[in-house]
Structure 1
Amino acid sequence: MGQSLLEVGQALGLPLEGTCEGQMACSTCHVIVDAEWFDKLAEASEEEEDMLDFAAGVRRTSRLSCQIDLTQELDGLSVTVPAEAHDMRRM
């Protein structure tokens, strides 16, 4: 299994919180996946969908970055960290 978007993003210094350290017990690593990439991702689990109910600024293409396993097929993946997530990091 490869690394998650959360792990790689944090290693690169991107503004991904991940309070639960990728255990899917929070929604602080919420990202919005660009529409052209969304259908290329593995389907979200019911648990991830439930956790996204707690995320701010959820869109149709929202995912938890801890649940996106990066593969060669996802090379070039484009996501946006919601403005609400940036605001939470400043608290």
Structure 2
Amino acid sequence: MPEITFIDHGGEKRVVNAATGSTVMEAAIKSGVPGIVAECGGACACATCHVYVDEAWTATTGTPSHMEEDMLDFAFDVKPTSRLSCQIKVTDAMNGLVIHTPPRQG
């Protein structure tokens, strides 16, 4: 199982195990990571699972789809590395992935 490190806006780190094939959002919710609300349950219909992918991992996690980009318009403090965690599928290549959570969800 790949390990993902979530870092909140205060710098606190939480390392969680994520099942390959799940999403970063599912791993966060299952492990009780604060700052990931996921109101729509992963349907890409809100922006309450907004995260920042660490720059070292952006190539591995890929780019947002058009639908995801539209939803990111509703997120708080969007940055170039912003993604919806429900849209990032976990692969074995993501072992060590670093994700930052914003100070609040939009």
Distance 2:23 2:60 in 1: 15
Gaps of 5+ in 2: 1-19
Tell me the equivalent position of 2:17. Answer: none
Count of matched residue pairs:
86
Q: State the superposition RMSD in angstroms.
A: 1.3
Richer in strand (by share): 2
1:68 is the counterpart of 2:68: no
Richer in helix (by share): 1
Instruction: Choose from 61, 74, 83 the match for 1:41.
Output: 61
TM-score by length of 2: 0.77
- Cα deviations across residues 25-74 of structure 1 (Å, max 9, x unaligned)? 00000000110001111321100011001100111000000000011001
TM-score by length of 1: 0.89
Gaps of 5+ in 1: none
Query: Following superposition, which runs of at least 4 residues in structure 1 exceed 4 angstroms of deviation?
Result: none
% same residue: 43
1:6-85 matched pairs, under 5 angstroms: 6-15=25-34, 16-85=36-105
